[in-house]
Chains A and B, each alone.
Chain A
Amino acid sequence: MLRNYLKVALRNILKHKMFSLINIFGLSVSITTCLLIILLVYGQKRVDNFHEKGDRIVRVLSETDNGSFASTPLPLASTLLQGYPHILEDAVRIKSSFVGGDVIYDNRRIPLAGRYADDSFFKIFSFELIKGDPATVLEAPFSIVLTKESSEKIFGKEDPLGKSVKLNDIGLNTMDIALIPTENTETLIDDLVVTGVVDNTLSSHIQFEFLISMSTIPSLMKQGKSQATFDDWENYSDSYLYVLLQEGKTAQDLAPILADISKEKYAALDDVNISFGLERLSQITPGAFRQNPISLRMPIEVIYFLSFLGLVVLFSACFNYVNLSFARFLTRSKEVGVRKTMGAARYQVFVQFIIESVIIALLSLVVAIGLLQVLSIVFLDLWINQFLILDLTPDLMLFVLFIGFSVLVGGLAGLLPASFLSSFSPIKALRSFSGISLGNGKRFMLRKGLVLAQFCASLFFIITTLLIFAQLNYLLEKEYGFDQGNVVNIKLQGIEYGTLAHELGQNPAVETISASSFVPGTGGYSGSTKVKTLQMPDADLSSSYIGIDQNFIPNLKLSLIAGNNFSASIPKKDETMVVVNEALAQLLGYKEPKSIVGETILIGEDQSAVQVIGLTENYIFDLLTEADQDEPLLMRYLPDKFTYMNVRYHPTSDIGSMLLSMEEKWKKLDRVHSFKYEIYEEELKATNSIFADMMYVLGFISFLAITIASLGLLGMSAFTVESKKKEIGIRKVHGAGVKQVALWLSNSYLWLFALAILITIPIAYFMNTIWLEEFSYRVNFSIWIIAAGIAIMFVLGSSSVLSQTVKAAMNNPIKGLREE
C-alpha cells in the first residue's frame, strides 16, 4: 500500500513539474531558514552542557531597582558557605572586572585577558585541566592557570608549569569589542606562577584566556595595587557567584535563605535594596539578559526575533503550499472519486495526500541542507556574530531533529488540502470532474479566495520590507549633528592631554585638536548626574554629561546657538561653568531654550552651582539605536576625565603619513602602549554596521518571502489557466484572438488585486506602526511607501499572471479541447 502511495506521489510530482518546483523551492528556502534557527538555538543549548555537576550549579543574581544583575556583593559567598553547609556544597566567586593586558615572559609580550576566580572553580565547573591539580591550581596567591591556547602563545612548546610571568594589567577584556572604554590606569602584577593549563574549547558562557587565584587580590591590596571590597555589601557589581548545591537540594531550598540575608543586610538601609535571585546553569544560555553580564551573549530576545522571522518565512511557504495544493488537488478530484468507488476509505485517501505532502517536504529538506551549507558561511560572517557564542557544527541528534521538523511541516501543510479532498463523496468528486465543473460556484469561489489571499500576503510583505529598508536607511544616513569628517580620535591611554596635544599638534596636517571624555555616537559614556535649578529645587532630572575642553565645540563644528564656548583661560579646577543642549534647557522648564544662558543650575549629588554659559543644538551622543530625540546633555570642562584626543586634519592631507609620524611621536612618549586611533567617520559606520547586518538578514528574509509569494501567484495563475483550457479552446475556435483571451483571463485578477489593496493596506499600516514607534528616530510611514509597494506588487503580479495567460491564449485551441 505504502509503495503504491509513494509511486503515485512521485509520478504526480514529476507530472506537475512546475507546481512541484515552486513548492519544493519555497519549502526548501524556508526550511533552510528554520534549520538555521534550529541550529542556532541548539548551539545555544549546548553551551555549558559539559559540566558534570551542572544540574546542581546555580548562579546568584542581584535584583535591584536598576534591573537584574548577574553580579553579587563579594561577601555573600562566605556568608552562605559558613551559615548553610547543609544546603551548599561549595561556591565560587569570579571577579567581574577583567584583569588583562600584556603577559610578559622573557622578551615576549602577549596581550591576554582573564579573571580572578576562587580555588573552587575547577571543583565546581568541569573545565578540563590538561596540567595541574583541580583541587589546588587556584589556591596560592599569584597562581595563574592558562588556557591551552594562551600557553602556546606565550611558551610555545615549552612546559609552562612552574614558570613565572608578569602581567601588565590595563583592564583588557575578552569581550573584544571596543564599545566599552577600558581603564586608563595600569598595574604591573609581578611573578605570577603558572600552576595549570586548561582546555576551554567546549563552549561556555564563562570566557577567559587565563585565571588568576582570587587570593592574589589581598596581596595586591597590601602592595596598594588593588582596591577590592571584600566586605562591602552595597557593591553588587564586583563579582559573580556560582554555588554548588548539596545532592538533593534545589534552588527553592536556597531562595528563602537568600531572602533572609537580603533582609538582614539591607532592611536598615534607605538607598540600597537588593534582593537575590537564582538562575540554574542551564537557564543562563540561552537566557534573559542580565545587567553587568559575564560575557556578551545572544539575548534570548534575539532568538525570539529570529525565530519569529523564521516562522514568517515558513508560514509564507506553507501558505503557498496549501494554496497550490488546493489548486492542484482540485484537479485530482477524479482520482479521489475513482479510488473511493474502488473501496478506499476516507482515511486512506487522506493518508495518501499527506504522504505526498511529506515527500515534498523531505525533498525540500535535501535541498535545504545544501542551501544551509552556503547560508551558514554567510551568517557566520555577520558582524553581530562577534557577540554570540555560536556553534554551528552539526551532529546526529540535529539530523533527527531536521527530519522530524520536515515531516511535521509536510504534515501540517498537507493537512488542510488532504482533509478537504478526502471528504469528497465519490459521486461529487466524479461529477465535479466532468463538464459541469466549470460552473461549480463553490470551487470558483475557493479559487478566487486563494488568489486573493496570495495577493494580500505578497502586498503585505512588500510594504513591510520597503518600510524596514526605509527605516534602516534613515538610521544609517542620520546626521549626528556634528561633523565627523576628517577627524581622527586618539586614545590617550594615560598620557597627559596637554603633552600629547603639544607633540602631535606640530604636524602640518593637523588643523585643530580637542579633548573629550568619550567620543559621541560610539557607545562611550562618562556618567550621568542630577540637575536642578534654583527655581525648581525638586526637579527630578538626570542628565548625561561629557567632559570636553574649550576646543571641542568648534572642532566638531557643534552649533552653538546662544552664549559662549568655554574660554581659553578657564581654570582647570573648581567647575563654575557649563554648556548645555537644548533638550536640557527645555526639560528644566525653559520654554525659550536661549533664556537658560546666564542662569545658574545645580548639578551632582552635592548640588554645586554652575553657570550656564552656552547652549548648543541637540546632537546625537548615544549609540544611534539607543539615542532619544530629546536627551539632555551637559558639556562640562573636566580635564581629569579626558580620555580621547580629537584631531581634525586638513581634508587634502595624506592621513597615512600623518598617522605614521604621529605614531612615531607616540612611541617616544609611551613605550608601553601602542598607538590607538580610530578614523571617526569609519568608526561610526562600523558602530552602525548592526543596521547593515539587520538590513542583510531582513533583506534576505523578505526576499525569500516575496519570492515565495510571487511563485505562489505564478502557480495559481498557471492552475487557473490549466483549469480553463477547455473554455479557452472553445473561445478560440469561435474566433477570439490572443489579446482578447489573455485579457479575459487576466480581467478577474484586476478586481482581486483591487480588493487585496483595500484589505491589506490598513492591516499593513497598523502592524508596521507598532514596531516603527519603538524607534525614537524613525521615518515617516508615507503614502509613497504604500504606493511603491502597490506598484511593485502590480509589476510582479501582472508579470506572473500575464506570462501564464498569454501562453495559454497562444496555445493551439484543439489541444485544449482534446485533453478533456
Chain B
Amino acid sequence: MLLQLRNIFKWVNSGGQRLFLLKDINLNVEEGEFISVMGPSGSGKSTLLNVIGMLDNFDEGEYEFLHESVHALKEKHRANLYKEYIGFVFQSYHLLDELTVKENLEMPLLYKKFKGTERKAMVADMLDRFNIVGKKDLFPTQLSGGQQQLVGVARALIANPKLILADEPTGNLNSAQSEEIMALFKQLNSEGVTIIQVTHSEKNAAYGSRVINLLDGRMIK
C-alpha cells in the first residue's frame, strides 16, 4: 500500500461557523494505480490533492504514507518524505520565468542534494525523453502552453517520484496537447509510477484505472 487516508476532515472557520472543505475522506492507494479525481467546481478536488501532497494540513483523521503516520510527523520529516517520493504538476504550469527550460528542470534536483554531474545527466535524459532538447535554453515565456506543460511534467518526473500529483494538468491545453500528456502519464504508469490526477474531462479520466467522485468535500460512490 502506498498511502491511506482514514476519516480525514478539513475545515475553515467562517463567521463563527465551520465550513467543511473535506468531510470524512477514506482512501487507499496502491502502488501503480492511476486515479482520476472528478467533481464539480468547488467540490474540494484541489484541496484533497494538496492534502495528499502534504502541502496543506487537515484538521482530523489519519494519513499514512509508506507506513509513516503523516499526521504525527514533524514538519521537517514530512517535507523530506514529500521531497523524496512526490512530484507535482500544476494546472497553470508554474514554471519560473527567470530560469531557462534546462534550469527549471534542474531546480528540484538542487533541493534534493544531487551532485552536479548527476544533475546534468538527469536533465539531459529528461530533455531527450520529452523531445525538448532544442528548447533547453529558452525561457518559459518563449514556449507555447503545451510546451510549458510538458516542461512542468518533466520537472515533476525528474527526481523519479513514486507518486505524481497532477491538478488539472491539461486544463489550459487543446485536445491534441492533452492527449499527448495523457499518453505520457499512461506510459509512466505502466513503468510503475503511481498517478493521481484531477480532471473535469471524462476522456482524460478514462486513461485512469479508477475514478473518485467528490461532491461538497465528500466522496461519493
Q: Give A contacts to B, CB under 8 Å.
A: 1, 4, 7-8, 11-12, 15, 334-335, 337-339, 341-345, 348, 425-427, 430, 434
Contact = CB atoms under 8 A, between A and B. Distances in A.
A11 B98 contact: yes
B71 interface: no
Q: Is the interface of A mostly helix, strand, loop or mixed?
A: helix
A338 B98 contact: no
Contacts of B177: none
A332 B107 CA distance: 16
Contacts of A338: 94-96
Interface in B63-105: 76, 79, 82-83, 88, 90, 92, 94-96, 98-99, 103
B137 interface: no
Contacts of B96: 8, 335, 338-339
Contact of A339 (B55, B76, B111, B112): B111
Contacts of B107: 4, 339, 342
Given A343-B79, A425-B56, 11 more contacts: A4-B106, A8-B96, A8-B98, A8-B99, A334-B94, A338-B94, A341-B88, A341-B94, A342-B111, A342-B155, A345-B79
The listed residue with most A CB atoms (<10 A of its CB), out of B50, B76, B103, B111, is B111
Contacts of B146: none
A348 B50 contact: no
B22 to A, nearest CB: 14
Contacts of A337: 94
Contact of B55 (A12, A15, A425): A425
Interface in B103-150: 103, 106-108, 110-112
A168 B180 CA distance: 104
Given A343-B83, A426-B55, A348 B111 contact: yes
The listed residue with most B CB atoms (<10 A of its CB), out of A334, A341, A343, A425, is A343
B111 A345 contact: yes
Contact of A1 (B50, B83, B110): B110
A426 B57 CA distance: 12
Contacts of A7: 99, 103
Contacts of A341: 53, 55, 88, 94
Contacts of A339: 96, 107, 111
Contact of A342 (B56, B76, B92, B108): B108
Interface in B14-59: 50, 53, 55-56
B92 A434 contact: yes
29 contacts: A4-B103, A4-B106, A8-B96, A8-B98, A11-B98, A12-B98, A334-B94, A337-B94, A338-B94, A338-B96, A339-B107, A341-B53, A341-B88, A341-B94, A342-B107, A342-B155, A343-B79, A343-B82, A343-B111, A343-B112, A344-B111, A345-B76, A345-B79, A345-B111, A348-B111, A425-B55, A425-B56, A427-B50, A427-B56
A15 B98 CA distance: 8
10 closest Cβ contacts across the A-B interface? A343-B83, A343-B111, A342-B108, A11-B98, A338-B94, A344-B111, A427-B55, A341-B88, A426-B55, A427-B56
Contacts of A344: 111
Contacts of B53: 341
A74 B215 CA distance: 101
Nearest to B56: A427
A194 B144 CA distance: 91
A817 to B, nearest CB: 15
A8 B79 CA distance: 24
Nearest to B95: A338
Contacts of B95: 338
Contacts of A15: 98
B63 to A, nearest CB: 16
A434 B111 CA distance: 25
